[in-house]
Structure 1
Amino acid sequence: MLEVLNGFLLFYFVILCSISALVPIIVKPIATCFAKPSNEERNLLATVLKLKAEQKLISIKDEFAAYSKLQRQIIKLENQLKDASQSRRTKSLAIKGSVHIVLQVTIALMIVISVIWFRREPIVAFKGNLFPLMSILRYPSDMPNAISTHIWVLVSNISIRSLIKPFV
């Protein structure tokens, strides 16, 4: 019923469409590599934990002044830690967005250039007659009952995205 005319292009476009659909999943590990906590953040966290441990050893009733002094230091360091964390999250978001856009544009350009380059190449051909759809499916190829690269990319992209949608 179906004859593969160009297996290389068939798999090439399926792989490109798959990568295009998987970009949101690919971006996450790339962005986490660039947005790790800095040494300053780690040192602040260690200092806060050390001060909290010291504070637990002090009785609030007996040594209120020392306890309050440690509490103010802890609050100050926690605010610095919060600011550093917020800055890191903002940086991570910017990196995710940039990487996502760069990957999508690169893959889209590859698909568009490939479709233009191989526009007259049929990918698969049906053995039967597809009269009402024949001219749409084969455009711009001249082979009857064939599916052109344009239609193959469209069908591949829609089907792969609908299959991957539950996982993304």
Structure 2
Amino acid sequence: MLEVINGFLMIYFIILCSISALVPHLVKPIIVCFIRPSNEERTAWTEIQKLKSMQKTISMKEEFAAYSKIQRRINKLETQLKDDSQSRMSKSFAIKSSVQIVFQVVVALLMIVSVIWFRQEPIVALKGDLFPLTTFLRYPSSMPNAISTHMWVIISNFSIRTLLKPVLS
């Protein structure tokens, strides 16, 4: 049914289409490096834990002033921690978006340049005759019943995204 004419290009474009579909999932491990809590956040968190354990040892009825003082300190540290984590999350969102856009642009440019460079190369030849679609599938190649680079990229991209959709969702 199919005869592979240019196996290297076939695999090359399948890999490019796969990377293009997986970019959002490939970016996640990179972003993890940037969204780690800072030393200030870790210090505030450990101090909150110490103050809470200290507060548990104090009787609220007998030593209300000391208990309230610790509670105010905990509230202040929690507010500071919340503000720090919100700024970290907004930075991580900006970094994630930027990295994802850069990867998508690089893959898209690589794909566009490759399609233009190999536009005359047929990837696969069909054994049968697909009369109404023959010209459309082979354009700009001149080989009859062939699938051109353009069409191969479109077919591969659609197929890979369709196959990966249930797995990645």
Same fold (TM over 0.5): yes
Q: C-alpha distance in 2, partners of 1:59/1:167?
A: 54
1:4 paired residue number: 4
Alignment partner of 1:15 is 2:15: yes
Q: Extract structure 1 runs of 4+ deviating beyond 4 A.
A: none
Alignment partner of 1:81 is 2:81: yes
Q: C-alpha distance in 2, partners of 1:83/1:128?
A: 65
Give the superposition deviation at 1:127: 1.3
Give the superposition deviation at 1:129: 1.2
Q: C-alpha distance in 2, partners of 1:126/1:14?
A: 18
Match of 1:93, SS?
helix
Runs of at least 5 residues in structure 2 that lack an aligned partner in the other structure:
none
Q: C-alpha distance in 2, partners of 1:46/1:110?
A: 48
Match of 1:3, SS?
strand
Match of 1:144, SS?
coil
Alignment partner of 1:105 is 2:78: no
Give the superposition deviation at 1:167: 2.4
Q: C-alpha distance in 2, partners of 1:127/1:41?
A: 65
Aligned length: 168
Match of 2:130, SS?
coil
Name whichever of 23-32 and 7-16 sits farther off.
23-32
Q: C-alpha distance in 2, partners of 1:76/1:26?
A: 38
2:25 paired residue number: 25
Structure 1 counterpart of 2:140, which letter? Answer: P
1:136 paired residue number: 136
Deviations 1:111-156, CA, capped at 9 Å, x for gaps:
0000000000000001111111000000000000000000000000
Deviations 1:6-38, CA, capped at 9 Å, x for gaps:
000000000000000001110111101111111
1:43 paired residue number: 43
2:95 paired residue number: 95
What's the C-alpha RMSD, in Å, of the aligned pairs? 0.6
Q: C-alpha distance in 2, partners of 1:3/1:126?
A: 6
Match of 2:131, SS?
coil
Q: C-alpha distance in 1, partners of 2:29/2:92?
A: 11
1:151 paired residue number: 151
Q: C-alpha distance in 2, partners of 1:120/1:150?
A: 9
Q: C-alpha distance in 1, partners of 2:59/2:53?
A: 12
Structure 2 counterpart of 1:113, which letter? Answer: V
Structure 1 counterpart of 2:154, which letter? Answer: L
Give the superposition deviation at 1:90: 0.7
Question: Percent identity over the alignment?
Answer: 68
Match of 2:142, SS?
coil
Q: C-alpha distance in 1, partners of 2:120/2:5?
A: 12
Normalised by the length of structure 1, the TM-score is 0.99
Structure 1 counterpart of 2:32, which letter? Answer: T
Q: C-alpha distance in 1, partners of 2:133/2:123?
A: 16
1:124 paired residue number: 124
